[in-house]
Amino acid sequence: MRYLFYRPILQERWQKVSLIMRLTTIFLIGFMFQVTARSSGQTVTLAVKNMPLEKVCKEIEKQTGYYFVYAKDMNKNENLISIKVDHVSIDEALKDIFKGLPYTFQIIDKVVVINTVRRISQEPITLTKNSESVTSVEGVVLAESGQPLGGASITIVSTGKGVLADAKGEFSLKAVPVNTDILVSYIGYSPKRVPVKGDKFIQVRLAVATNDLDAMVIKGYYNTTNRLNTGNVTTVKGEDIQKQPVTDPILALEGRVPGLYISQTSGMPGAYAAIQLRGQNFLPTDGSPLNLNDPLYIVDGVPFNSSSLTSGGIGGGALGAPGNGAGQGMSPFNSLNTGDVESIQILKDADATAIYGSRGANGVIIITTRKGKIGNTKFDLNVYTGAGKVTRKMKLLNLNQYLQMRHEAIGNDGLGVYYNDPNFKDGFSDLLIWDTTRYTDWQQLIINHSSPFTNAQASLSGGTSNYQFLIGGGYSTQGVLFPGNYTDRKASMHVNVRNSSQDQRLQESLSIDYVNNINNLPSVDLTSTIVLPPDAPPLYNENGSLNWEKYNGTATWDNPFANTLKKAKAVTDNLIANLVLNYTILKGLQLKSSFGYSHSQMNQSIQQPSVSFSPPNDNNPGRRVNSIATTDRKTWIIEPQVNYSAKISKASLDVLLGATFQQNTQNGIAEKASGFAADVLIPNPKAASNFRLINNDISLYRYNSFYARAGYNWLDKYLFNITARRDGSSRFGPGRQFGNFWAIGTGWIFSAEPFIKKAINALSFGKLRISYGTTGNDAIADYQYLSTYNPYGNSYQGLSGLTPTRITNPYFQWEVVKKLEGGLELGFKQDRIILSVSYYRNRTGNQLVSYSLPYIAGFTSVQYNLPANIQNEGQEFTLSTINVQKKNIYWKTSFNISFPHNKLISFPGIASSTYANSYIVGKSIFSKFVYHYTGVDPQTGLYSFYNKSGDGNLTFNDEILSKPITQQYFGGVQSSLSYKEFQLDILVQFVKQLGYNYQAYLPMPGDLSNMPSHVLARWKKPGDKASVQKYSQFSGSTSRVYSYYRLSDGVITDASFIRIKNISLSYQLPNQWKNHMHLQNVRIYLLCQNLFTITKYYGLDPETGGLNLPPVRMMTAGLQINL
Amino acid sequence: MKYLYKPWRNVFVLILFAIFLQACRKFVQIPAPDTQLVTTSVFANNSTATAAQTAIYSQMIQESFYMSQNCGLLSDELTNYSTAISQLQFYTNSMTANQNISRWSNIYNYIYQINAVLEGLSNNSNLAPNVVKQLMGEAKFLRAFWFFYLTNQFGAIPLTTSTDYSINAKLPRTSQEQVYGQIINDLKEAQSLLNSNYVSVNDTSITNPMDKVRPTKWAATALLARAYLYTKKYDLAEIQATAVIDNSQFYQLENNLNNVFLKNSMEAIWQLAIPLPSDINTPDGEYFILIGGPQSGVNNSTSISPELLNAFETGDKRLSSWIDSFTTSSTPSLTYYFPYKYKIYQSGDIQEYVMVLRLAEQYLIRAEARAMQNNLGGTAADLDTIRTRAGLPNTTASTQAEFLNAILHERQVELFTEWGHRWYDLIRTGNANSVMSVVTPLKGGVWSPNWQLFPIPQDDILIDHNLTQNNGY
């Protein structure tokens, strides 16, 4: 092959490519090639790889008898030579050798004189015939802070050719036509055009990009800019995250990222947020692990497990337990500190996510923490404090309406006989036992308190060009809206140190994040008790003990505040450490390795005193329980990489080869201590008479991959990006562990074409990009392919039992998502208006699901590769405009909207599968089979439904497919206005969606529970046209019909909303004041989260749904000081 | 090329690369977790194989109370005070297909475990032959036991006889006749496999003192007698019942009614021990005994119905020994009667086991089988054995029809709140419609002959579209 490329340019290029390949082999395998050369009289024969110049010259001396003389100031070993010549003259050989070197040579008799270019350039030598118009230039590229920008690109504008700066930022250019410009660019900095004008040494200082197009985009193992990106990546800056008074950085993304839908499950601090990045890729089943649809999270280079640490064995109190209903346990993101976040990048399409290959099926979210910057040591203090209130309340029946409902229900049900029978008195406790004149507004009492929130962050940072550091600490505390003293407290520490050798060739960067979180929340979400009957008894007796309103010695109600005596506590420690070593072997060639380690541990306890149980069991040792759990998660990851970048003629090439070795271990223990003689003994399990291990789970996950990426950029006009990987995961059975994934991305910056420039004057930037590729998913539980038995925990005949863990299928394999994306990005008026449009189409086949099984199979699911193919398709639009850009005023707006569409495109064998009655090919997977509600029957007063056979018996043949119960579109509008010292930021979130209304969560109107006031529109007498069924407490037919109603489309309603998500207003002290106080910067500000919500949804909140605590309206005021 | 490479170097590189790839392949091959046992090793050891079987007894002990309470509410045994929809649906005979699915799902999970044990034991040469024989017998017995309850609740049911989910997930319902065929086959095999002594956990020797918590040949025989009775094979039912009754070395009626439900009582054929450690003796005791007024939840929410209370003849010692009451301190005071066969509410000192099969039922099975075969003398003898123990005079029945009525009545007062006997008796004897059309309206419901069978859970019908629903649901 090599002999075909004999033309010098091609050969040179080939040599570079070939060099990369060789070096890769060297680094990966540790094998060094050696030089072979043979002498042959006056001609030279050489074949060397990376040999120092001096050694090469010695070899030529040996072969020819010529003698070399060097300039004093040159470093003979700095330049490594790779050349292959066969029987050529010494002149030819030397020309080859010195091509691209900053030296020249002269042959005088048998002496070769070598000079540096700088010296030679004082008396320019003839390189081409037009010697007057050509010069050579040397220079250095630095950031404004003075940090050398190794790898910066320097391009001669007129020829398009260029070079890369070395590790110290130094470069030299030959054959530069005089009076041309050079374009200097570096990722994340605004490019700069510098005139040459015959200068011999140029110092270029680049400023950090303020323009969105040139901002740095982190694409996993490599970085690029929005301008040159061939994939779809959205960046949310840390400063925008820090403007939101939230403790979970993920919640700060709501409404900001097209294609990313986040819904809070509860307004409780630390609650889980459900995430869908571009829809749902798999068919949901009851047993499906929830994180199967989660994106891959990377925090400072270390994969971050998005599943909750809360123990399934004892649950997480008000936050629920993983895989169990609304709560899902505590969000692991609550143990990250929002104040330390520098930026969050959301990678969406195949081109962006393929570098994470197997785990990028649902997209990738990269969280990067703050780093130190060059400059004087700076101290920064930022404190805000405020309080939260409930965002919305539900309109409920008042006392009279409630009592009337109850009496009417008893009348409708014909329960008068029982109502008047003293035997059944306690069945009607709200009417016959409780004081029916007493009125409590439970909503007011339970969720109308304010929750204090304080957040303080301090950091010290600074550095020189060789050394930068940042040390930060933070503390935050947030309360809950319930009465009582509940807090979620977080203390954090963040350290980042970067160091580089004097010549900048060796760089180390070390980051350590540590967070300690103490979550001290009630053991249940008390929000569900707002529907207590308005005449329910008082919570406490006069002596301060819980009031059970006993009748005949037994309690007539479940006092909700019994739960407040149960103490739930979760302490989480989270450590993430990452070390990156980077060594520049040659200009453009880097060897890099990242070492990551993370350790998260949660210690939980839930203590239940016996008084928290309904009497008469209130002094029963068996009911005094202390449940304890520890969940411990460790991850290490090692990622060696080789990176090569070069300028080849008019193009630049980046090649990356790497490998990943990762291991996660998780250890969970849950124990239950009971049988305490007294309540005061509960904290110490040693005092328990009965101690049980509830579960003890161990899991190990290993992951291994090899990847390669090549990026090719021709004149910043044509962009190509290819990635390929081979990944292995221990979650698959023997022989099925490995999968291959790849992606291609291309971009065309058509605004750089002269004919377009001419045609559309206003267009300052235009890019068309297309990407296609495959990514995989292995986000399932470990060991699913193994057939195992678990200890049962109790003994029978003294023998501890064993039970089967699952139904085993050893044959499942990688889930594969095929992603297609097209994007158009346009900039107008010097990029003051940027419009970007993307279309995506993700198809997920070979779905890794928990395949639903009927109960008769023994277990309700089995891990399975479903042949179903789900398509998530959508359009995303972002429009960013700089509306006003004047000396004192700056106003910027950004609007984004996403239209997701979901469709089951194929499912061979669906009719014979367990999904036959759940999904239809061609329809959205969010559509549900439901009975069709046809209103309240004016004669019977009961809900009626479409009934095909007309026999009144509803079967699943009567069910229809509902509209998709999901978002039709969603997005946000961000606006940022600064005027002199003032700055105002507003974020408005909007969602158009269908959801379940409150009737889906509440008992039948008429039952012993308060109701939303809309039930007043109930049926009263034959002939009534009503929207609500007649009041009824219970009787066979009404409850049966009501259960059909809850399974009908009658409970599916519009749950759209517009929310003023965030407002931040800040004022910077004028300079003369600051100078007076010797402060660099002083800022006071107000932050407000979830200010108000516009919605037609009746109930607490359309986002959280159900009877969970709705999102909290948080108002805070703060102060930031820089010294 | 010729200068740079030598062939052996290429080979060397290739070998290194191959070793590296092999190492990576190894890297992602992980061992099983220490906390779990791989299935093949479970059945490679006598103790672990036994543990896989006995764990099913540990799990199924909870079913006793629920089966008793559910069927008691459905029939005329219990009065409901619960406000839970699930309980009200039983009480008013208005079950729906989306409520009360735990019995169905639990039982099929036990059957899965049973089938897994049978599969683990088949062609197994690692275990001691006597262990294999006993465990296989227990598994077959237990499978028959659960199919018996399933078919009596749901009628035709899917017959799961393997762990293969690809088969099970698509099973249609099997007719009740074929289900009984399977039950009787399993029981006959169990009879020949099971030890006739009560076995301990370590080996198959007799336990000393006798611990009646594992099924024996006699348990299989007793259940076979019941299966024959239900399928109207009266001659065979009599033979099997007689075999149990004649084993007086193991089984005798307890003269003191307060001793019947104690652990290892002379009357017990098979009992379930509460898995240890435990704060309670039996779920039945904990959840039936009222120490206050009835609760509104699922447990401690029922009392003995007036129908059952009134069914006791004057002087029946079962009324005083097996039923107790709680009287409120209110004015007027209210009295709630509750089942008191199990007398321990909560205690870690285990004195009572859950009774599954007992001798008194065998006498009543034989009495009915004899009556059906017109052996009225034999019938009277068996019936009077039970009546005498209860302190009652001999039966006054003289015709076959009178005897059958007397037996139904005797079963009502002898076997109340034990695994739902009354409900199944009403249905199999054809008395359900006449009794329930009176009782259901009293309970606030409307009776239909369709309500004799439980609804098949809707979830399963949605997933397994070969399943059909029972009439009326």
**Residues B12-24 pLDDT 10s:** 777 877 777 777 7
CB B422 within 8 A of CB B75: yes
The DSSP bridge partners found for residue A591 are A583, A642
CA distance A1074 to A1087: 23
Identify the pLDDT of residue A406. 93
A858·B328 Cβ contact <8 A = no
Higher pLDDT, B205 or A754: A754
Interface check B278 vs A, CB under 8 A: yes
Identify the pLDDT of residue A484. 82
Interface check B104 vs A, CB under 8 A: yes
Maximum CA extent, chain A: 129
**Cross-chain CB nearest to A31 (options B13, B30, B92):** B13
Distance, in angstroms, between A552 CA and closest chain B CA?
5
Beta-carbon contacts of A587 under 8 Å, excluding residues fewer than 6 positions away, are A164, A166, A167
- Residue A638 has which token pair? 């090692």
Identify the pLDDT of residue A1022. 92
Share of chain B above pLDDT 70, in %: 96
Among residues A991, A974, A992, which one has the least CA distance to residue A983? A974
The interface residues of chain A toward chain B in range 341-370, judged by CB-CB distance below 8 A, are none
CB A850 within 8 A of CB A288: yes
| Secondary structure (3-state) at A791 | strand
CB A352 within 8 A of CB A1078: no
Torsion angles phi and psi, residue A1094, rounded to 5:
-105, 120
- Residue A943 has which token pair? 């809900």
Among residues A65, A74, A77, A156, which one has the least CA distance to residue A111? A65
A805·B51 Cβ contact <8 A = no
- Give per-residue pLDDT as tens, A370-422: 998 888 899 999 999 999 998 888 889 999 999 999 999 988 888 887 788 77
CA distance A22 to A783: 39
Does residue B467 surpass a pLDDT of 90? Answer: yes
Distance, in angstroms, between B29 CA and closest chain A CA?
6
Residue in chain A nearest B24 by alpha carbon? A704
Among residues A839, A871, A725, A717, which one has the least CA distance to residue A348? A839
* Residue A941 Rama label (left phi>0; alpha psi -120 to 50; beta): left
Burial class (CB in 10 A: 0-12, 13-18, 19+), B398: exposed
Identify the pLDDT of residue A598. 96
A858·B169 Cβ contact <8 A = no
Does residue A25 surpass a pLDDT of 60? Answer: no
pLDDT band of residue A357 (cuts 50, 70, 90) is low
CA distance B86 to B98: 10
A914·B292 Cβ contact <8 A = no
- Give per-residue pLDDT as tens, A577-624: 999 999 998 888 999 999 999 999 999 999 988 888 777 666 778 788
**Region A123-145: what's the mean pLDDT?**
63
Taking one residue from A and the other from B, the number of pairs with CB-CB distance under 8 angstroms is: 280
**Region A629-647: what's the mean pLDDT?**
93
Distance, in angstroms, between B303 CA and closest chain A CA?
12
H or E segment and range at residue B311: helix B306-311
CA distance A670 to A629: 4
A552·B329 Cβ contact <8 A = yes
Distances (CA, A) of A667 to A304, A311, A634, A778, A940: 16, 10, 9, 20, 58
Mutation pick from B161, B165, B344, B469 vs chain A, by most beta carbons of A within 10 Å, is B165
The interface residues of chain A toward chain B in range 251-310, judged by CB-CB distance below 8 A, are none
Interface check A734 vs B, CB under 8 A: yes
Interface check A738 vs B, CB under 8 A: yes
The interface residues of chain B toward chain A in range 381-440, judged by CB-CB distance below 8 A, are none
**For A72-86, A778-792, B363-377, which range has the lowest pLDDT when averaged over its residues?**
A72-86
Beta-carbon contacts of A979 under 8 Å, excluding residues fewer than 6 positions away, are A888, A889
Identify the pLDDT of residue A780. 84
Which 8-state DSSP code applies to residue B199? B
Higher pLDDT, B328 or A108: B328
CA distance B304 to B417: 9
B446·A801 Cβ contact <8 A = no
Residues of chain B positioned with their CB less than 8 A from the CB of A737:
25, 28-29
**Cross-chain CB nearest to B24 (options A704, A791, A1035):** A704
Residue given tokens 């959840």 in the structure block: B287
Interface check A622 vs B, CB under 8 A: yes
Distance, in angstroms, between A662 CA and closest chain B CA?
9
Maximum CA extent, chain B: 116
Cα A325 → chain centroid: 22
CB B124 within 8 A of CB B202: no
B92·A805 Cβ contact <8 A = no
**Cross-chain CB nearest to B27 (options A553, A704, A788):** A704
Among residues A847, A813, A851, A846, which one has the least CA distance to residue A732? A813
Query: What ranges in A414-497 are assigned the alpha helix state H?
Result: 416-419, 429-432, 442-447
- Give per-residue pLDDT as tens, A146-200: 788 888 888 888 777 888 888 888 888 877 777 778 888 888 888 888 887 766 7
Beta-carbon contacts of A711 under 8 Å, excluding residues fewer than 6 positions away, are A222, A224, A230, A653, A654, A655, A719, A720, A721, A722
Interface check B292 vs A, CB under 8 A: yes
A422·B332 Cβ contact <8 A = yes
Residues of chain A positioned with their CB less than 8 A from the CB of B40:
787
CA distance A254 to A988: 10
Share of chain A above pLDDT 70, in %: 91
**Region A723-746: what's the mean pLDDT?**
91
**Cross-chain CB nearest to B171 (options A800, A803, A856):** A856
CB A59 within 8 A of CB A46: yes
Cα A1041 → chain centroid: 43
| Cα end-to-end distance, chain A, whole Å | 63
CA distance B401 to A773: 80
Distance, in angstroms, between A75 CA and closest chain B CA?
27
CA distance A421 to B416: 27
Does residue A997 surpass a pLDDT of 50? Answer: yes
- Residue B98 has which token pair? 């989306």
- Count Cα atoms within 13 angstroms, Cβ side, for B86: 14
Distances (CA, A) of B457 to A285, A855, A928, B104, B467: 17, 9, 18, 8, 10
Mutation pick from B26, B28, B301, B356 vs chain A, by most beta carbons of A within 10 Å, is B28
Answer positive or negative: Cα dihedral of A223, A227, A233, A236.
positive
Interface check B346 vs A, CB under 8 A: yes
Residue given tokens 């950004």 in the structure block: A894
Does residue A226 surpass a pLDDT of 70? Answer: yes
B39·A788 Cβ contact <8 A = yes
Interface check B182 vs A, CB under 8 A: no
- Residue A712 has which token pair? 């090719």
**Region B107-125: what's the mean pLDDT?**
95
**Cross-chain CB nearest to B54 (options A616, A674, A799):** A799
Sheet holding A103-108, edge to edge: A67-70, A111-116, A103-108
Interface check B105 vs A, CB under 8 A: yes
Beta-carbon contacts of B310 under 8 Å, excluding residues fewer than 6 positions away, are none
A1047·B98 Cβ contact <8 A = yes
CA distance B74 to A566: 37
Sheet holding A134-143, edge to edge: A170-177, A134-143, A201-206
Residues of chain B positioned with their CB less than 8 A from the CB of A31:
12-13, 16
CA distance B163 to A807: 8
